[in-house]
Amino acid sequence: MYVITQLELGGAQLMVLASARYFAGKGYEVVLVSNNRGILTAESAGDPSYKKYFLAPLKRELDLNSDIKALKALKSIMKKERPDIVHTHSSKAGILGRKAARSARVPLIVHTVHGFGFHYFRNGIMKRLAIMGERSAARNCHKLIFVSGDDMETARALCIGRKEQYELLRVGIDFEKVCSFKGDRAALRKELGLPEDKKIIINIAPFKRQKNLPLFIEIIKGVAEKKDDITALIIGDGESRSALEHIVEKSGLSGRVLMPGFKRSPYKWLAASDIYLSTSLWEGMPRTLIEALLLGKPVVASEIGGVKEIIKDGKNGFLFKHSEAGEAVQKLLLLCEDNDVFENMSKAAMKSIDREFSLEAMLEGLERLYNAD
């Protein structure tokens, strides 16, 4: 049984759906539990290979009444389905799902950490409560999977779980599918209606606080003030769309920052672009950065979490601190204006991702873990 808060278009969600399909195909009985609000809900609902439950009370936001209802529903489902394995993803589903699984006496309880968001809680009390919640939830499971070594070190330093619970298992990228879009960039731009004569800077993300998209727009404004021939893309959507559109308009970037919405397969847009800019506040191991590197796109990214493990500063991209947006502007200008730097980083990007990050490696790792004595 997989439990995840919401099936939005994100790395954790794609990992869950790929796992559900794979193990269903191997003959396992698979059940997926989520709320009913994510953009991938319809795709999951239409897959006949596994059973699913959609729980309206399961919310990302803190809501005591809904959380109690979600916990009761999870316990009821687990007692009915009697799973041998419960594997949770995301913070809310991870805390409630592991508690329910412990109550239902599930033989193997696994949780995957996709980055710890409590680093950026503005309220110190809430941050401490979140850490305490993670410590408590870790006691309710047998294995903790980390997609980045940085998160593993954070857990160890904060006494979240025990060392013997820890497993490092990267996100699973379908290399063949991604690399099939290494086609003619000019043809892709024509197909997508993108300008052929401009440098295109891209970000692929749901519109939520974690992705820090106002900073993306601020950085693009700084680049646009120095260069006329750039266009920016934000591939995604969310409740904050109108707020972001207002920031774009206020920044004088209308027509230069394009937001064409969610794309289930964004690889064409990524392949048609030149540079990936990530401004996230926290990440586990962002799959879009890995996909960008596979396609030879230099990455300029905030220096956080697992990002530091794949972006080698000055080699396949550049890292910057959130407080130093001007540094990100300078690095983007360098990549836009110096063809030698751009080409060298593009070649290094394609060589910097190995099989450890492949879909096959992830699924094989999960199967070993699930079947271990």
pLDDT in tens, 75-116: 999 999 999 999 999 989 999 999 999 999 999 999 999 988
Above 80 in pLDDT, residue 119? Answer: no
- Residue entry with tokens 């809310």: 92
CB 114 within 8 Å of CB 11? yes
Beta strands in the chain (DSSP E): 2-4, 31-34, 51-54, 85-89, 108-113, 143-146, 166-168, 199-204, 230-235, 257-258, 275-278, 299-302, 317-320
pLDDT of residue 55: 97
CA angle, 298 then 300 then 301, to 5°? 130
54 has which bridge partners? 34
Above 70 in pLDDT, residue 329? Answer: yes
Supply 241's token pair. Answer: 């769309």
199 has which bridge partners? 230
Q: In what order do the strands lie in the sheet with 51-54?
A: 51-54, 31-34, 2-4, 85-89, 108-113, 143-146, 166-168
pLDDT one-digit tens code per residue, 190-218? 999 999 999 999 999 999 889 999 999 99
Above 80 in pLDDT, residue 183? Answer: no
Q: What distances in angstroms separate CA 115 from CA 38, 149, 247, one per listed residue?
A: 20, 10, 27
pTM above 0.85, yes or no: yes
pLDDT of residue 73: 98
Above 70 in pLDDT, residue 122? Answer: no
Above 90 in pLDDT, residue 13? Answer: yes
Supply 46's token pair. Answer: 């239409």
Spatial CA neighbour of 52 closest among 121, 122, 3 = 3
CA distance between the termini of the chain = 19
CB 116 within 8 Å of CB 282? yes
Phi, psi of 39 (to 5 degrees): -65, -20
Above 70 in pLDDT, residue 373? Answer: no
Mean pLDDT (the chain, rounded): 94
More confidently predicted of 19 and 121: 19
**174-204: burial string, b at 16+ Cβ within 10 Å, e else:** ebeebbebeeebeebbeeeebeeebbbbbbb
CB 275 within 8 Å of CB 298? yes
Transcribe 236-284 into DSSP letters. Answer: ---TTHHHHHHHHHHTT-TTTEE-----SSTHHHHHH-SEEEE--S--S
pLDDT of residue 189: 94
Q: Residue 12: enclosing H or E segment and its boundaries? A: helix 11-25
pLDDT of residue 11: 86
Q: How confident is the model at residue 364 (pLDDT cuts 50, 70, 90)?
A: very high
pLDDT of residue 265: 80
